[in-house]
Amino acid sequence: MKNLSNDVVIHVENDIAYLQYKKLLEYDDIIKHAYTLKKGNMDFSLHGSIENYHDIVIENYKKICGKLGLNYINVVRPYQTHTNNVQSIYGKINKDDIDIALDELKDIDGVITDKKEIILSTLNADCILFLIFDPKNKVIASVHSGWKGTLGKIIENTINKMVEEYNSKPEDILVAISPSIRKCHFEVHDDVKIPYEETFKYTNRLNEIIEPIGEVDGKQKYKIDTVLVNKIMLIDMGIKEENILDCEICSLCNCDQIHSRRGSNGGLFGVGTAMISLI
């Protein structure tokens, strides 16, 4: 796997592979975290059918949670639908099962908690996942931000919620950015380009964010740097640049090891998870 960063550790074992961030590992006595890779059939998707995939997902949560020393039963996973909605988690809903595909978590793409043992889990297969940690107030978040979530500024909503509800200060917050599709492969048409242009023209960095790449079948195409957009928003909110932990790994460039929707060429694809828990 191409890794341009010195900020991550990739663990490869017989039945599992996962990524961790060195800066977050400095707080290993306070939090546990991981981003799962493909090895060992580590797929967390229900593919629309809880009955068919629930057991596989449970076994995979048991596997990764076991590596982290966590109890899988405490997983809280929002019902992601590419919104910019963020919800605080005050406790588990199911007592004898993980909280997955629940109506109470529907249309939620980011979750925050200050409660110990709850394992926040979000999913991706090219979209950005953020693991967020405020070490001063001991607050964590896991956030899913596809191109729609980025356009809706879900990362701003998350930081604002941490500030308003948990007394976090942006300068204390650490934000880890997962493997995701990068500008090298995120190609779009005008239906995506125009809203990005309108929403983020205030940055005065559109020439970096959006790159025309010529016509395909008579339609102009562009590359968009959604990671850069999120970094700009984070810095504007007061997050220190050195506290933005980017693995710099493209999911499509490494789709042999990372779940990638675009890398599936229209076929069935799996999803990875970014998890974080206070202990």
* Closest of 74, 79, 49 to residue 64, by C-alpha: 74
Distance between alpha carbon 205 and the CA centroid of its chain, in Å? 24
Q: What is the 3-state secondary structure (H, E, C) of the chain?
A: CCCCCCCEEEEECCCCEEEEEHHHHCCCCCEEEEEECCCCCCCCCCCCCHHHHHHHHHHHHHHHHHHHCCCHHHEECCECCCCCCEEECCCCCCCCCCECCCHHHECCCEEEECCECCEEEEEECCCEEEEEEECCCCEEEEEEECHHHHHCCHHHHHHHHHHHHHCCCHHHCEEEECCECCCCCCEECHHHHHHHHHHHHHHCCHHHHEEEEEEECCEEEEEECHHHHHHHHHHHCCCCHHHEEECCCECCCCCCCCCCCHHHCCCCCCCEEEEEEEC
Q: State how far the Cα of 208 lies from the Cα of 159, in Å rounded to an integer.
A: 24
pLDDT tens, the chain, 279 aa long? 655 567 899 999 989 999 999 999 999 999 999 999 999 999 999 876 666 677 899 999 999 999 999 999 999 999 999 999 999 999 999 999 999 989 999 999 999 999 999 999 999 999 999 999 999 999 999 999 999 999 999 999 999 999 999 999 999 999 999 999 999 999 999 999 999 999 999 999 999 999 999 988 889 999 999 999 999 999 999 999 999 999 999 999 999 999 999 999 888 899 999 999 999
Res 54: pLDDT:
79
Q: State how far the Cα of 146 lies from the Cα of 226, in Å rounded to an integer.
A: 8
Q: State how far the Cα of 16 lies from the Cα of 42, in Å rounded to an integer.
A: 7
Q: State how far the Cα of 221 lies from the Cα of 192, in Å rounded to an integer.
A: 10
Q: State how far the Cα of 11 lies from the Cα of 219, in Å rounded to an integer.
A: 42
- Residue that the structure tokens 């242009």 belong to: 197
Res 267: pLDDT:
84
What's the sign of the alpha-carbon dihedral 93, 64, 137, 153?
A: negative
* Closest of 229, 62, 212 to residue 149, by C-alpha: 229
Res 52: pLDDT:
62
Res 218: pLDDT:
85
Res 217: pLDDT:
82
- The CATH class, in words, for 8-181+240-278 is alpha beta
Res 72: pLDDT:
97
What's the sign of the alpha-carbon dihedral 124, 84, 114, 140?
A: positive
pTM value is 0.96
User: From residue 30, how far is each of 117, 248, 276 by CA, in Å?
Assistant: 10, 25, 11
| Domain layout of the chain by residue ranges | 8-181+240-278
